[in-house]
Amino acid sequence: MSNAQLWAALQQSAMVGSDRLAVPPALASGVDPSASGSQQAVQAALQPRADVAGDSPAQQLLRASAVAAVFERAGWQPGAQVRLTAPLAVPAAAPAESRTAPADARLHTLMGDVLKDGPFELQASMLRTLDQAGQRLPHDLLVPALEQGRQSVELRQWLAPVLGERGRWLGALNPQWSYASGVEETADPELVWQEGSVEQRVALLRSERATDAAKARTRLEGSLKELGAKERLPLVQALAVGLGMDDEPLLEKLLSDRSKEIRENAAQMLSCLPDSAHSQRVMGWMQSMLQQDDKGQWIVEPPEEGLKEWERDGITLKPDAYHRGGKKAWLLEQMVQLTPVSFWTRALGLTPLEVMEWSRRSDWKSSLRQGWVRALQYQLDVEWIDAAQTMGRDMRHDALLPALMARLSREERESRWIAQFERDRHKLIDAIEGMSQSLGGAELLSPALSARLTEALHVAVGGKQITGNWHSYRADQALLSCARMLDVTALERFAELWRKPSVLDAQPEPEPEPQTEPAAAVTATAAATAAAVAAPASIPLTPQQQARLERSRVRPWDEERMRGHLERIVDLRLGLHQAFVALRGPA
């Protein structure tokens, strides 16, 4: 048997067990001096070892499999599995770096720890701070950083600026890291647009849209015919930055694009422009479905069939297979989705909250509300925040509220959060969840709100009487969110929740009552009590009972694992803060 066949047979034995599939005799019969060096190493690994306690056949088999795996990896040749038309070319050297990397060894260690184990919010915050300092990642952290970016699309916006030229060079060499490839950071915008990665071009387009929307639109329009659908979609979506009526002609043209995703995005962006011809058409169709009953109450009645002309404006006439309602509900939901939300307050003469109450009495409540959720995901009208909070919870709704809150100023958002947790201390966990969902990946609470929230936590869970349910999974996640999003100035006070003895821990032991019974009776009673207490201890707990015991705690950090998570995040954040302060130097 060849080496490859022997390794394959060894793997099969390891997977099913040597008692079911014997190891090949060529490997199990001892070390053969005439065999190749790799075979001798595997044969030796299969022999019992006196220095390993309880060295079983299963351990010997796994040990030999590990040795074979090392030889297999060492002997792997790039391109051996495919037929190459030409020898692999040696890649050009990486360009010189335009940024420096931090020289602090402790900061290197901290950044490596964060890249390895997260959490995501700390990774994003760390990368953003590194970028703000004008620095890049050290070369020895590029591989774990690129791997994190491969696994998390959301992290890439913070990762890309600090990869440096070596990181972009590596991205071009590994298809799994291609998202990071592109031209040099200092490249001219025209070169970025012509030769940069999709991510670089999207970033350029969004930046130009914020400063010169017309220039960016012209740049995109001139390149649309040359781009594939996968490239065009994120570039078209960048038009949402600085969207205005000047974009209407291009978006109207995209309603006839060959890509369904681009047609849908163009229709949604046009719905953000109430004065556009598209919005006027949709609002006219929507108005025809509204009528007043004998009592003057507005009712909505969708048609049995849609019009052929609706399809160009983004309304699919045939329901998707996953749609649970009928055809009328399908048509209504799409129509509501593409109707500017301002239409409803104007047509019905109601506030957004009153519109939501009106829908509650409608036969088409579900279609109306699902359509509004989808519409608001694009239109992001902050006047509908309170109305959106009254809707039923689902995945789309949970993503909508943070997006709406992000349109508010920091002061407006935080005033809402303060009012929420001060209005009802029993719902502090709900308030923390709302804050966590509404913050961007690298965003933190203000120092003022962080201080107020920390004191609210001390009152709710650090005192003698605990307010709310703090022995649940939601409570664990809320505390971890606080560790990630509190301003660094509040972290020391936050950590006092578990680092300082609480009132509950400091309760004195009750004084023993004076004995009034005869000594013999007291002794007998004590012996019986001790026996009764000791008896259950001899009975082992089932895994379910042990799990319940571990959860029977008052506060999240009463569990050692949870306390360890909190300590790690707080220590990492404080350490990174101190290192970055030293990196920036005196102000």
Tokens 């319940």, located at residue: 548
pLDDT beyond 50 at 19: yes
Helices (H) and strands (E) in the chain, counts: 30, 2
317 and 237 in a common domain: no
Read off the pLDDT band of 159 (50, 70, 90).
Answer: very high
DSSP label at residue 442: T
Closest CA to 177 of 211, 205, 149: 149
- Spatial separation of the C-alpha atoms in residues 493 and 120, rounded to whole Å: 23
486 and 440 in a common domain: yes
The answer to whether residues 122 and 114 touch, using CB atoms and an 8 Å cutoff, is: yes
Answer with the one of 22, 55, 74 that is the final residue of a domain.
74
pLDDT beyond 50 at 533: no
- Extract the tokens encoding 74: 């060492």
pLDDT beyond 80 at 477: yes
177 and 210 in a common domain: no
Task: Count the alpha carbons within 13 Å of 142 in the hemisphere toward its beta carbon.
Answer: 21
- Spatial separation of the C-alpha atoms in residues 70 and 37, rounded to whole Å: 13
Mean pLDDT of 346-353: 94
Per the structure, the complete domain to which residue 138 belongs is given by 107-181
Tallying the residues shown for the chain, one arrives at 587
Mean pLDDT of 47-56: 80
55-59, 194-198, 350-354: which has the minimum mean pLDDT?
55-59
- Is pLDDT larger for residue 184 or for residue 104? 104
- Extract the tokens encoding 57: 């056949």
- Residues 455-467: tens digit of each pLDDT: 999 988 876 667 7
- Spatial separation of the C-alpha atoms in residues 470 and 461, rounded to whole Å: 7
Q: How many domains does the chain have?
A: 5
Amino acid at 269: M
Mean pLDDT of 369-391: 88
282 and 233 in a common domain: no
ω into 119 cis (within 30 of 0): yes
Would you say residue 99 lies in a domain?
no
The answer to whether residues 202 and 185 touch, using CB atoms and an 8 Å cutoff, is: no
pLDDT beyond 50 at 244: yes
333 and 264 in a common domain: no
47-51, 162-166, 218-222, 337-341: which has the minimum mean pLDDT?
47-51
- Spatial separation of the C-alpha atoms in residues 377 and 404, rounded to whole Å: 8
Output the CA–CA distances (angstroms, integers) from residue 343 to 280, 296, 329, 349, in the order listed: 10, 19, 19, 10
Task: Round the average pLDDT of the chain to a whole number and report it.
Answer: 84
The answer to whether residues 551 and 471 touch, using CB atoms and an 8 Å cutoff, is: yes
Read off the pLDDT band of 529 (50, 70, 90).
Answer: very low
341 and 356 in a common domain: yes
User: What is the pLDDT, as a whole number, of residue 82?
Assistant: 59
422 and 375 in a common domain: no
Would you say residue 23 lies in a domain?
yes
Answer with the one of 19, 54, 74 that is the final residue of a domain.
74
- Spatial separation of the C-alpha atoms in residues 475 and 478, rounded to whole Å: 5
